[in-house]
Structure 1
Amino acid sequence: MEKKIYVIRHCEAEGQSSHAQLTEKGVGQAAELAGFFGDMVINHIISSPYLRAIQSIERVAEREEVGIVVDDRLAERILSTEVLPDWLEKLKATFDDIDLKFDRGESSREAMQRIVSVVEDIFKSDSDNTLLVTHGNLMSLLLMNYLPDFGFEQWKSLSNPDVFLLKSANGEITIDRLWVG
C-alpha cells in the first residue's frame, strides 16, 4: 500500500520564537497552501507546536475537517541556547559534522532522529495521506536522512512555505519537491 507524507515548511513568520505569528504575507501564503491541497484527500495533519506552523495549515484542517495533532518532535531545532553572532557559519558546520553540538543545543543527528521517528510512526499508521508541518532546519535534516547529498546549500534554497512529498510504496521511499515558491 502506498503512503504519502507531505512535509511542509511553515509560511513566512514575524520571528523565530515559538509564539511568532505569520506575517501578512505569510497569511496569504497559508491561503495559497490551502489552495494547493484543495484537490487532495487528507487523512491526518501533524504539526510543530510553534504557532507559525499551526497557522500555516489551519485552513486546510478546517476545510478537510481534520484536527491538527501537535507533536513536540516537530518543533524547530535548537542550535544553541546562547546567542551566536555567527549562527549561519555554525549551522553550516552542523551539516558537515552531524554530531557537532553547541551550548545546550541539539546536534543534527539528534534532530534528524527526532523527525525521522515521526515519519516512521506515520508510515506504520493507517493514514494514507498525512500533512506534516515543521521548520526549515528540521525539514532539511529529514530530507538529508533519505537524500545524503541534501545539505546546507539545499537548506538555503528552501522557501516559506515549501512542500516535499515522501512516498512509501513496497518498502521504497521516494521524495519529490512539489512547491515552487
Structure 2
Amino acid sequence: MTNLYFIRHAHSIYTPDELERPLSEKGKKDAVRILAMIQPDNIDVVVSSPYKRAVQTVEGVAQHYNLEIEIFEDLKERTLTVKPAEDFKAAITKAWEEPNFAWEGGESNMAAQARGVRVIQHLLKKYEDENVAIGTHGNIMVLIMNYFDKQYDFSFWNGLDMPDIYKITFDGDLLVGVRRLWEQ
C-alpha cells in the first residue's frame, strides 16, 4: 500500500504574491503540530507545491526525517481568475458547478484536476508502497481527491481546516482508504 499524506498549508499572511506568501504566526505554530499527527507512520518522501506557504507547512516533517522537499509545479493552487473576483464565493461555486468553465485567465476544475492527478499518478508509480507527505492547497487537493472519489466535492472543500491532513491509501492506483488526521 502507498500512503499519501495530503497536507493543506497552514494559515498564511495574505499578499497578492501567491508564490512567496508566508505562513502567519498561527500558521507556523500549527505547522509544528503536523509531525505529531502523522506519526507514528514513517515518512519516506516529502513533496510540495512551489508556494512558500505549502513548503513552510511541511518543512518540519522533512527536517524530522532528514529529507529534501521535492517541488512539483503542478501541485500549486489553481488560479481561479487573474482579476480579483468581486464575489469569491460565487466565483468558486460556479467553477465547481461547471467543471469545464474557467474565469478569465483562470483554470477550470477539469484542467487543474488533470495536472494535479498527473503528479499523483507519478508519485504512486515512483514511490509505490512508501509514505509520501504532500504540501498542497485546499482546492487542488480536493480536485485530486474528487478524481478518485466523487464524494470529495465543493461542500467537502468548504469544510476544510487550515491546515488539514488527509491520509489517502492506495493499492496500486486504486484508492482504498481516506482518513482525516488533523485535530484542532
| Equivalent-residue separation in structure 2 for 1:21 and 1:34 (angstroms) | 19
| Equivalent-residue separation in structure 2 for 1:89 and 1:76 (angstroms) | 18
1:62 has 2:63 as partner: yes
CA contact 1:37–1:60 (8 Å) conserved in 2: no
Following TM superposition, by how much is the alpha carbon of 1:144 offset from its aligned partner in structure 2, in angstroms? 1.3
Aligned to 1:11: 10
> In percent, how many aligned pairs have the same letter?
27
Following TM superposition, by how much is the alpha carbon of 1:172 offset from its aligned partner in structure 2, in angstroms? 2.9
Following TM superposition, by how much is the alpha carbon of 1:171 offset from its aligned partner in structure 2, in angstroms? 5.2
Q: Which deviates further from its counterpart, 163-172 or 102-111?
A: 163-172
Aligned to 1:139: 141
Q: Which deviates further from its counterpart, 47-56 or 137-146?
A: 137-146
Decide whether aligned partners of structure 1 residues 90 and 64 sit closer, same or farther in structure 2, where only a CA change above 3 A counts.
same
Structure 2: stretches of 5+ with no match in the other structure: none
Equivalenced residue count is 180
Give per-residue Cα distances to partners, 1:101-147, cap 9 Å, x unaligned.
Answer: 11011000010011111110111013511011110111111121122
Aligned to 1:149: 151
Following TM superposition, by how much is the alpha carbon of 1:74 offset from its aligned partner in structure 2, in angstroms? 0.7
Q: How does 1:21-60 map to 2 (within 5 A)?
A: 21-60=22-61
RMSD between aligned residues: 1.4
CA contact 2:121–2:173 (8 Å) conserved in 1: no
Following TM superposition, by how much is the alpha carbon of 1:34 offset from its aligned partner in structure 2, in angstroms? 1.9
| Equivalent-residue separation in structure 1 for 2:158 and 2:98 (angstroms) | 17
Secondary structure in structure 2 of the residue aligned to 1:66: coil
Aligned to 1:173: 175
Decide whether aligned partners of structure 1 residues 117 and 154 sit closer, same or farther in structure 2, where only a CA change above 3 A counts.
same
| Equivalent-residue separation in structure 1 for 2:48 and 2:168 (angstroms) | 16
CA contact 1:4–1:168 (8 Å) conserved in 2: yes
Following TM superposition, by how much is the alpha carbon of 1:39 offset from its aligned partner in structure 2, in angstroms? 2.3
Following TM superposition, by how much is the alpha carbon of 1:178 offset from its aligned partner in structure 2, in angstroms? 2.2
Q: TM-score, normalised by structure 1?
A: 0.94
The list of structure 1 runs, each at least 4 consecutive aligned residues, that deviate by more than 3 angstroms after superposition, is none
| Equivalent-residue separation in structure 1 for 2:109 and 2:172 (angstroms) | 29
